[in-house]
A and B are shown apart, each in its own frame.
Chain A
Amino acid sequence: MAGSNPNAKPMNLTLKVWRQKNRATAGQVVDYNVRDISPDMSFLEMLDVLNEDLLRKGDDPVAFDHDCREGICGSCNLFINGRAHGPESGTTTCQLHMRKFSDGDTIVIEPWRANSFPVNKDLSVDRSAFDRIIQAGGYVSVNTGGAPDGNEIPVPKEIADRAFEAATCIGCGACVAACKNASAMLFVSAKVSQLALLPQGHAERATRVENMVAQMDKEGFGACTNIGSCAAECPVGISLENIATLNREFLAAKASSNNLS
């Protein structure tokens, strides 16, 4: 039964899904057919149908990451028909709906491909490299309890809004998956920009950017060659301007006396 569109016809699709038992084993593409898919289903609901089917037959369901299914937690991460999060721009996999596909389509579903994101199983990858980058400096060093009144330091609305726009990154990793160099610059720059814009982040500005960039390199992410696929595929519209900010911050940090290397 369709909700919003009573005329939408169910679809039959062929899926080409990456199956890989674990990190140590080689993977392969396996074909599946799914039938009677409603256009109102989300992409992940379509995979739920496949998985229920597989499980009932005693086969191993396809592992994939997801949680909120609202486009905010950043868990879901499928590479669909050669694009991070699929054909619709500005959309996470969980918010992609089957009405974007047609009856008879073949859909190729792969995990994020990047050396820094090893595969756990099937479509689930390990993105802990992002956490380690944040641990390297993506915070303001303030202990609980010592904060001044929230209104003590006014922040112009325009600055607060720009900081928010950078802070809205959901950490899904689409930027890395979309980049031919598997660079994490957009992710790192979003955090650097947010905290560089806000007065609260100023004290640690120089060390933050240096430490985060150093960790990014250590994790094996590729170099940024300014192509912009990251921003084009970012589901929440993190802007390339952040990368420019990062570069500026980085140069300024290098020039300052308290640089690290």
Chain B
Amino acid sequence: MSMILDSKIPEGPRAEKWEKHKFNVKLVNPANKRKYDVIVVGTGLAGGAAAASLAELGYNVKAFTYHDSPRRAHSIAAQGGINAAKNYQNDGDSVFRLFYDTIKGGDYRAREANVYRLAQVSVNIIDQCVAQGVPFAREYGGLLANRSFGGAQVSRTFYARGQTGQQLLLGAYSALSRQIAYGKVKMYTRSEMLDVVIVDGQARGIITRNLITGEIEKHAAHAVVLATGGYGNVFYLSTNAMYCNATAAWRAHKKGAYFANPCFTQIHPTCIPVSGDYQSKLTLMSESLRNDGRVWVPKTVEMAEKVRQGQIKPQDIAEDDRDYFLERKYPAFGNLVPRDVASRNAKMMCDEGRGVGSTGLAVYLDFADIIKRTGADAVSQKYGNLFDMYAKITDEDPYTQPMRIYPAVHYTMGGLWVDYNLQTTVPGLYATGECNFSDHGANRLGASALMQGLADGYFVIPYTIGDYLAQTPPKPVTTENPAFAQAEADVRGRVQKLMSINGTRTPDDFHKHLGHLMWEYCGMARTAEGLKHAKVEIQKLRKEFWSDLKLSGSNDELNQALEKAGRVADFLELGELMVDDALNRNESCGGHFREEYATEDGEAKRNDDEYAYVAAWQYVGDNQPEILNKEELHFENVKLTQRSYK
């Protein structure tokens, strides 16, 4: 039975919803706050910010990360910046414009009320971070600097060179460290959550594995917040950190949390191309490079072939023989079209046989013009660290020859379904940051993930969780309930099962195989036929995994292959759901491009009449088709149009 989803959007005009809601939510009496325990899983931007803020309010927080320190998380790698509707540049930005851009950029598949709130609180984030000592870039006059980023026509992106994620995360980490020192946060590092515990229909705790000793532990609380990041690594190769995985979200899903829009994945146009089979991850070259770099391929297949063979160097190709395809096709936005458009076009060029590099799976990103105009020094000031990184990885000098770039999996818009309060379909279980599905629709704009993670963690969850806790008696919670023993036994059983298969293929081997299927059939361009094929193949691979997995060592020590195996097992289930979702959505929108649904000139063609909804999938049992629940999206403040960047 599918269920009608209540997104709990407050009544009233858009600009007043959040203020009113904050007034209407129940408050926990200050003296009672210390009687509530909250578990926060994940200490990236979303989780670190939430854990610190909740502890400041007086709750007892237990925070978990599989990293060795909360100073590390995938968030640390974010390069480009964070958006906020400050309008410091007086260039016409506003809360409404940021809201509008985000809804439009998301191809009209996000919930208006959430996005509006995100734009509203964006301004507070910057203030908070500055107060923490985050060294944002500044102008000579001492005021904060901004740049335009990822297709935005205003300069609203705040940044700290090419290391914005690092500086924001260290800010959240410092706030968290302060609360750890006060004893308000108990920090569990190298501790991986492997299940959620549900007692009487409410989330009341988690089961973890200590990655150093292998010990399985039970932890109880009045509420659980998941801030465990995205699932891009289902594709094996992505720009995500190596350890990013879907396990926490997937286990929650199997305990009743619906998974929304799993097929909405973002492919980032500017990454360093794959160089060989051994490749373990892909490195992003920040989107900001498209502000000054020009994207091109040779005009003809013959010329491209010559470059691939190394017979001619790109810098020696005459202007007339180059095709600056984004500038040609999208004169208004040029190289700054949104990510999905830029990625798809790069793929098209390579499919036509005009790709470059030894594999033919790359296009050029050329800085010759800007270097000529402003000098190498000025370019180095702006992009020095990125150019260095590129040179280190490829052994090529981007100051004298164009970069080679190719799209790579980067971000997952899908995630656990949450209502306006960021609560999942399991009462007491919340999801924040990239782990939830909420704000980016079918495509995320650059510099908006950091904004969302910090908005959720600093400014939303501290209010909305209070509403739930205020309605929960402040009685101590324990792990005595049989649900804990059951969940613990399940986790143990699974670990033992993995250890005992004793087959021939390594976890990495299965992961690579799955990644290949996902990229080929559920990547930049999808077809019904390909998706159906992928589904069968994934099911086969999953069977093989459970009968032919190879591990070594034991489960009571640091065993990185065992950790990996558990994560791959979950990817093998999530992958199939992504395929189902992509197959269900008979339209193209944002990062989801179905070849059958394209306009005459090859652009994504939405179907608003039938698909203006969030697909929230409900788990009913292993190897059974999941149930599709729909949250209809209503647009009161923007008019749905076909996106055009021409």
**In the assembled complex, how far is the CB of residue B510 from the closest CB belonging to chain A, in whole angstroms?**
12
**Chain B residues positioned under 8 Å from A71 (CB to CB):** 389
Interface positions, chain A 1-54, Cβ under 8 Å from B, are 1-6, 21-22, 38, 40-42, 44-45, 48-49, 51-52, 54
- On whether A200 and B130 interact (CB within 8 A), knowing A55-B551, A135-B178, A135-B181, the answer reads yes
A79-87, A105-113, A140-148, A221-229: which lies at the interface: A140-148
State the CA gap A99–B391 with chains docked (Å): 12
Nearest CB of chain A from residue B307's CB, rounded to whole Å: 12
- Is A144 in contact with B137, judged by CB distance below 8 angstroms? no
Give 1 or 0 for each of B61-81: 1 = CB within 8 Å of chain A CB: 000000111111110110000
Residue contact A147 to B283, C-beta cutoff 8 Å: no
Assess whether B127 is interfacial by the CB under 8 Å rule. Answer: yes
Interface mask (A160-173 → B, CB under 8 Å = 1, otherwise 0) = 11011001101100
> Dominant SS at the A interface?
loop
State which of A42, A145, A164 has its C-beta within 8 Å of the C-beta of B167. A164
> For the complex, is B124 an interface residue (Cβ under 8 Å from A)?
yes
Q: Let me know if A91 is at the binding interface, CB within 8 A.
A: yes
Whether B126 sits at the interface, judged by CB under 8 Å, is yes
Which secondary structure characterizes the binding site on chain B?
Answer: loop
Q: Say whether, besides A3-B275, A71-B389, A151-B143, A142 and B167 are in contact (CB < 8 Å).
A: no
Q: Is the CB of A38 within 8 A of B131?
A: no
- Complex Cα spacing A74 to B251, Å: 29
User: Is B526 located at the chain interface by the 8 A CB criterion?
Assistant: no
Q: Interface size for chain A: under 10, 10 to 19, 20 to 34, or 35 or more residues?
A: 35 or more
Q: Are A63 and B558 in contact (CB under 8 A)?
A: yes
Contact, CB under 8 Å: A95 / B389: yes
Bound complex: CA A42 to CA B392 (Å): 10
Q: Are B278 and A195 in contact (CB under 8 A)?
A: no
Q: Determine whether B16 belongs to the interface, using a CB cutoff of 8 Å to chain A.
A: no
Q: A67-B72, A68-B241 are in contact. Are A61 and B142 (CB under 8 A)?
A: no
Asked if B26 CB lies within 8 Å of chain A CBs, one says: no
- Contact A148 to B358, CB < 8 A, known contacts A3-B274, A63-B560, A65-B68: no
Q: Which of A42, A99, A139, A149 counts the most B-chain CB atoms under 10 A from its CB?
A: A139
- Within the complex, which residue of A51, A67, A95, A142 is in contact with B131, where a contact is CB–CB below 8 Å? A142
The complex places the Cα of A74 from the Cα of B127 at a distance, in Å, of: 27
Interface string of A200-237 (1 = CB under 8 A from B): 11000000000000000000000000000000000000
11 intermolecular pairs with C-beta atoms under 8 Å apart: A45-B280, A69-B283, A97-B393, A128-B68, A144-B53, A144-B56, A150-B127, A153-B130, A155-B138, A160-B135, A164-B167
Task: Report the 6 A-B pairs with minimum CB-CB distance, sorted nearest first.
Answer: A3-B275, A154-B142, A139-B174, A147-B131, A164-B135, A147-B127
Residues of A participating in the B interface, judged by any CB pair closer than 8 Å: 1-6, 21-22, 38, 40-42, 44-45, 48-49, 51-52, 54-56, 58-61, 63, 65-75, 91, 95, 97, 99, 120-121, 124, 126-128, 130-131, 134-136, 138-151, 153-157, 160-161, 163-164, 167-168, 170-171, 194-195, 198, 200-201
